[in-house]
Amino acid sequence: MPATWIKDPLAIFAEGAERGVVIKDGRIVELVPTGGQPITADVSAYDASAHVVLPGLINTHHHFYQTLTRALPAALGRELFPWLQALYPVWARLTPESLELGVTVAMSELLLSGCTTTTDHHYVFPAGLEESVDIEVGVARRLGMRVLLTRGSMNRSVKDGGLPPDSVVQDEDTILADSERVVEKFHERGMDAMVQIALAPCSPFSVTTSLMASTAVLAEKLNVRLHTHLGETEDENRYCEEIYGCRPLDYLEQTGWLHQRTWLAHGIHFNAGEMARLGRAGISISHCACSNQLLASGCCPVCDMEDAGVSIGLGVDGSASNDGSNMMQEVRTAFLLQRARYGVGRVSHLDALRWATRGSAACVGRPELGEIAVGRMADLALFKLDELRFSGHGDPLAALVLCGAHRADRVMVGGQWRVIDGVIPGLDVGDLIRRHGAAARAMQAG
C-alpha cells in the first residue's frame, strides 16, 4: 500500500509538521516541516488544508452501559452515594442485548468526537451478563476502535456493608477466574494492539480487601494494568477511615496497588503528601471534569498533581454522570474548570489538549499513542472549522477548545479511516438510536 501524506493542515498539534505527516503501515513515518516535501517514496496525498489535526484523543475512564440511563429522573440532584443507590436497581436489569446497544452508542459517540482509544470500566454483572467483556470486544472490533477494557468487579454488597445490591455482585473466585479468562482470550501486546484488558475492582466501598489484594497479585502475574475509583468524594474518605481505619491512599498501598501499573479515576481529595506519594509511585490520574461537576464531587487539583510528578489524562466517565461520551467537550470542560481554579497564567488550551493525548496515553500505558511523532501509531482526529461557532476565529487550535468543537470530520485509527465526512461508515445511526432508546425505556421501566 502507498504511504498517505496528510498534507498542509490548517493547524496541527505537533512541532515540525507544519506541512503534515506521512502515514505508512499504520504508523507515522515522517513529519513534513514548513517548506519541506515528503522523502517517503510512493506517497498519496490527502488534502487537509481545511482541517485541524490532533493526535487521536484517548478516553481514560468510562462506563459504557450507562448510556442506557442518561438523565434518569430518580438519580437527578443526588451526590455520589445516593446517586449510585438510585441507579443500581436499574443497572441490575441489564441484558446482553441492551449492553451491546449501550456499548455501541458510547463508542460511536466517542469515535465521532475524535477519540481513537477508549477505556471502559464495566463492573456490573447481573445474572446472564457473565460475558460482558466479550460483548464489548465484539463492538470494538466492528467499529475499529482501539480499546483498553477493564474487567471490573464488585463483591461487597449491602449485606456486607457495601453500596451495591446482591443482584449485581459476584464472589471473589468467580471474579478472579473470569479476569484471567478475558486477559488470556483478548489481551494483545505490542505497539499495534487494538484490544487490551486491565483489572478493575470498582471502589473501596464495593469490594473486599481480599479482592483488592488478590487482583493486584493477578495483574502482576498477567502483566496487565490496574484501575479503580479513588479520591472521588469526602464520603469515600470517611468510609475508608470508618471501615479500614485509614485514608483511601493508605488502603491502596496496603493492598499492593501503589505502583506504576495503576491509574485512578478522579483523584479529587488527596492532600499534598498523598500527591507526592502518587508521583513517586508513578500512578496516573484520570480527570473527569464533567462528572465531578454534575455530582458536585469537587475539583481535581490537576496542576498540583502534575507538579508532584503525576500524569493527568481525561475521562468522560459514565453517561449517567456526564451525561455524554464526547471527548472534545471533555477537553473544553477540563480547560475551563482548571483555568478557573488556577488562573490564566497556569492553564492554557494546549494543556487541555495535552491531557487528552499524551497525558491519557500515560494513564493507559501506551507511549506509542497520543502524540504526532515519527514511530507513533497513526491515530489522528481531523476537525473542520466551518460551523457558525468558529466564524471569526484566529488561532485554529485554540478555536477547537474555546469555541467548542464537538464532532470530528475525519478520524483515523492505525492508518485506517474510521470516520469519514463526520460519519462512521456502515453505521445506521437512526436505527441505533431507535433500538437503544427502546432498550433504555424498557430497562428504566423495569
Strand order across the 115-122 sheet: 57-59, 115-122, 146-153, 195-201, 226-230, 262-266, 284-287, 312-314
Q: Are residues 222 and 90 in the same domain?
A: yes
Residues linked to residue 228 through DSSP beta bridges, in sequence order: 264
Q: State the pLDDT confidence band at 446, using cuts at 50, 70 and 90.
A: confident
Q: Are residues 200 and 270 in the same domain?
A: yes
Q: Are residues 32 and 86 in the same domain?
A: no
3-state DSSP assignment of residue 118:
strand
Q: State the pLDDT confidence band at 254, using cuts at 50, 70 and 90.
A: very high
**pLDDT score, position 315:** 98
Q: Which three cell numbers stand for residue 443?
A: 430497562
**pLDDT score, position 30:** 98
Q: Find the radius of gyration of the CA atoms of the chain.
A: 21
**pLDDT score, position 347:** 98
**pLDDT score, position 163:** 86
Q: Are residues 208 and 348 in the same domain?
A: yes
Find the CATH number of the domain harbouring 381. Answer: 2.30.40.10
Q: Which three cell numbers stand for residue 344?
A: 490564566
439 lies in a domain?
A: no
426 lies in a domain?
A: no
Least confident of 159-168, 181-190, 280-289, 344-353: 159-168
233-246: pLDDT as tens digits: 999 999 999 999 99
Strands 380-384 and 284-287: unpaired
Q: Are residues 30 and 151 in the same domain?
A: no
Instruction: Report helix angle 234-243 to 80-91, nearest 10.
Output: 80
**pLDDT score, position 319:** 87
- Give the integer Cα–Cα distance in Å for 52 and 362: 24
Q: 20: domain range?
A: 3-55+376-420
Q: Is the pLDDT of residue 161 over 90?
A: no
Q: Are residues 67 and 46 in the same domain?
A: no
446 lies in a domain?
A: no
- Mean pLDDT of the region 318-336: 95
Q: Which three cell numbers stand for residue 171?
A: 464472589
- Provide the percentage of residues in the chain whose pLDDT is more than 90: 97
- Provide the percentage of residues in the chain whose pLDDT is more than 70: 100
- Mean pLDDT of the region 354-360: 98
442 lies in a domain?
A: no
% helix / strand / coil in the chain, to the nearest 5?
40, 20, 40
Q: Are residues 39 and 66 in the same domain?
A: no
434 lies in a domain?
A: no
- Mean pLDDT of the region 408-419: 98
416 lies in a domain?
A: yes
- Give the integer Cα–Cα distance in Å for 443 and 88: 12
Count the domains in the chain.
2
**pLDDT score, position 119:** 98
Residue by residue, DSSP assigns 183-208 as: HHHH---STT-SEEEEEEE--TTTS-
Q: How far is CA 7 from CA 45, 50, 55, in A?
A: 6, 10, 15
5-43: pLDDT as tens digits: 999 999 999 999 999 999 999 999 999 999 999 999 999
61-103: pLDDT as tens digits: 999 999 999 999 999 999 999 999 999 999 999 999 999 999 9
Q: Are residues 73 and 216 in the same domain?
A: yes
Q: Are residues 256 and 396 in the same domain?
A: no
- Mean pLDDT of the region 224-234: 97
Contact 124, 130 (CB under 8 A): no
**pLDDT score, position 426:** 97
**pLDDT score, position 162:** 84
Q: Are residues 80 and 208 in the same domain?
A: yes
Cα end-to-end span (Å), the chain: 52
444 lies in a domain?
A: no
**pLDDT score, position 328:** 98
Q: Which are the contacts of 312, defined by CB distance < 8 A and separation ≥ 6?
A: 284, 285, 287, 300, 302, 305, 306, 355, 359
429 lies in a domain?
A: no
Q: Are residues 79 and 205 in the same domain?
A: yes
Find the CATH number of the domain harbouring 263. Answer: 3.20.20.140
**pLDDT score, position 131:** 97
Q: Are residues 284 and 309 in the same domain?
A: yes
Q: State the pLDDT confidence band at 320, using cuts at 50, 70 and 90.
A: confident
**pLDDT score, position 1:** 79
User: What does the mean pLDDT of the chain come to?
Assistant: 97
